[in-house]
Structure 1
Amino acid sequence: MSFILALLKLPFVFLLEVIYFIFRCRPKKDIKNQHILITGAGQGIGAEFARQFAAMGNTIHCVDIVEKLVENVVEELKRDGHQAYSYTCDLTKHEQVQKLHDDIAGAGFIINMLVNNAGVAFGVSIQKMSLTQIQHSMMVNIVSNLWLIKLFMPKMLELNEGHIVNVASLAGYFPLRSSTDYCAAKAGSIHTLNQLRMDHMGTNLKFSVVCPFFVNTKMITGIDPSVAISSVALVTKAIRGIRENKEVIPVPNMFRVLKVIQDIAPPYLMRALIVATSSTNGADAEIDAKFVGQRMSEKVE
């Protein structure tokens, strides 16, 4: 019966999507007076999420493995008159993640939005990676997401409100050279929220996955600046999508079209197109880009 009802709703949903696309009038929710937890908030995308969400009137809980970096971001937010807290946590250590949750809950804070942003990338072929590096990549890029969701989502379910955001990558949809582990983890990050949406249909919980192209951060160097997007531009677009409760937020938006082509085109043709596009734009990760990752990644052997 529920399947039949879903089918009956399809024409109305399609009509709404057409109206939203033409008139840019998709409803937007206010995000203010909330407690927002952001991982990888010491720099780059995470720090920019902290700044923009704080400017909207929220309390920001900033998490990073590098104490000085995250403290600097929180000090900046406080100087600007915002409420913010810093936490140092190695997301590969489950006991530290548990302590993070316990410290926040013990202080009486309820997290309304979880932004799983922390990530690492080694940028080498799987044959050149050690088992420790593979495990570290998986722990940071996907396992920590699952563990944080497990810890913080129950309160959201109890209150029947909340928003979980995974910062994944277009590499979760499209192959990227010399990044087998990264692509696998980001695909998992995307599908994690697909599954959670199904499990929690009928609730007020929202799940959004942000899928950017190359971003100008310290994670990756050697990319042509004309190809990569800035952290400010990415986060601005991401927050707009979050306010609209979008399930998938590709940046730039043109990649929605590429995803449709991927689904219907022969696989070999799609691979050739991605390689050709990467080479033309100077964004071939194997040749032009060196993934440097976070400080922790450089130490993992």
Structure 2
Amino acid sequence: MSAANITVISAKPVVLPAPGRGTDLQVRVSAPATGGDLPVVVFSHGFGWSMDGYAPLADFWAERGFVVVQPTHLDSRTLDLAAEDPRTPRIWRYRIEDLTRVLDGLDTLEATVPGLRGRLDRDRVAVAGHSWGAQTASVLLGARVLDSGGVPGEDMSDPRVKAGVLLSLPGLGEDLTPFAAQHFPFMKPSFDTMAAPALIVAGDHDQSHLSTRGPDWFTDSYVYSPGNKSLLTLFDAEHSLGGVAGHQVAETTDENPARVGLLQQLTTAYLRSALFPGDTSWKSAATAMETDLNPLGKLQSK
């Protein structure tokens, strides 16, 4: 769908009841004002962010025919959860449950957002996320969290999710720094069972203080997961990939509108082809990347 003359409606906060969470789940819903059978993308924000971030992606996708749902997780700075709060050690699981709760609550979202009723296509659902949000989304695609003995934990994948877009997804847990291993023990993923299709995006200058390795740490999900994956490596990109969280955001150390523009175009093409069999958007975009030798990045698939 072209973005020409497309009006986007956005509603927030839309509240989903969340018994046992301590506070109900607030989400933002963005959608084109017209059209039906709209695919859904549930987006998980990075640490400290909220439903108000990531406009460069959420708005772009909504302008092109997707309904984008952005939950505010408990780690958001807008909620100011205390470090000693008993929920803190379990926040990573609450995050995953937030995404599942959104999928369970699509009827409520349709009924609450003006003009949205009857327009969602529940058979075309994707998840996306950035940083910690990418780790959250990856679990619904089949990734597992290893316990202290290296045994995969609970399978929390969701068959309703057909594909994912994973931005700056942290890698394997054996490469954590001592600080990260102590404070973030849940950062021990196994990608062996992450079988759902996904586009993984990594910056080749993304040096994390949580890892003892270099930027290639962020490609582990591509290397160690089963096939039907694509990896977009963005040249000179750091953790914010040029500014996906927002325009002129303080945390963005590598602001680059052209890089974000490429990411917008490629993620949209990927989502359309992943959710609509027969759509050739991704094939065309991949061919163009290979043919033109794009100076902003490279693409590979398996």
Q: Name the TM-score class by shorter chain.
A: 0.3 to 0.5
Taking structure 1 as the reference length, what is the TM-score of the superposition?
A: 0.41
Taking structure 2 as the reference length, what is the TM-score of the superposition?
A: 0.41
Structure richer in strand, relative to its length: 2
Structure richer in helix, relative to its length: 1
